[in-house]
Amino acid sequence: MLADIAVLYEVVYSEPPYNGGPLFSRDRFLDRTHRQKTAPGFELITARAGGELVGFSFGFTFDAGRWWGGRTEPPPSPEVMAPPKFAVIELVVAKEWRGQGISSSLMRELLAERSEPLATLLSEPDAHARRIYEHWGWQHAVNVQPADDGPWMHALVLPLNSTATS
């Protein structure tokens, strides 16, 4: 399944604002995902239409006190750092399937049974998805540059007792 996911990932992340930058290359995605799929709390949700993969989302647990790698400005608040968090690593939907509720369904299913009190994700500030996350109730916490060759991104957080995605 990882091969299908990587194909969709590569297509979506070749679009603006990502434009296939080094952090978003297929090889880097595969390297990260091979490590992440063994992380505690890992969960993957897929969406298919007629057998074709049209979307996916996955994430895993950040233990209490853990945060994103790379650089963070300013430091996260104690309220964000202290509890365990579910880190949403990817939410990807094929362009031709967007606007049909697939993203919200994937996110809702991914977060529905989580025991962590807080979720976090990284979003490119100029991506359309950033505005969608805000509409769903995610709040900007800090800025994160997850890798030296990656862009600065918004780290967003969401209390999991209010996983509105409509």
Q: What is the arithmetic mean of pLDDT over 118-137?
A: 96
Residue 20 confidence (pLDDT): 78
Strands (E), the chain: 43-49, 52-62, 71-73, 85-93, 118-123, 139-145, 153-159
Q: Which residue has the tokens 């091969």?
A: 3
Can you give the pTM of this predicted structure?
0.94
Give CA angle at 166 (140, 127), nearest 5°: 45
Interhelix angle 26-36/2-12, nearest 10 degrees: 130
Q: What is the CATH number of domain 2-162?
A: 3.40.630.30
* pLDDT score, position 166: 47
Q: Which amino acid is at 65?
A: G
Is it the case that residue 165 has pLDDT exceeding 90? Answer: no
Query: Rounded CA gap, 107 and 146, in Å?
Result: 22
Q: Which of 14-18, 27-31, 59-63, 113-117 has the lowest mean pLDDT?
A: 14-18
Q: How far is CA 160 from CA 1, 39, 108, 146, in A?
A: 28, 20, 10, 23
Q: What is the mean pLDDT of residues 80-107?
A: 97
**77, two tokens:** 């608040």
If one compares 143 and 165, the residue with the highest pLDDT of the two is: 143
What residue ranges do the domains of the chain occupy?
2-162
Predicted local distance difference test score (pLDDT) of residue 76: 96
**Segment 111-138 mean pLDDT:** 96
Reduced to 3 states, what is the DSSP secondary structure of residue 153? Answer: strand
What confidence score (pLDDT) does residue 21 get? 85
Q: What is the pLDDT of residues 37-80, one digit of tens each?
A: 999 999 999 999 999 999 999 999 999 999 999 999 999 999 99
Please tell me the predicted confidence (pLDDT) of residue 162. Answer: 52
**What's the pLDDT at 121?**
98
Res 163: pLDDT: 47
In eight-state DSSP terms, residue 13 is T
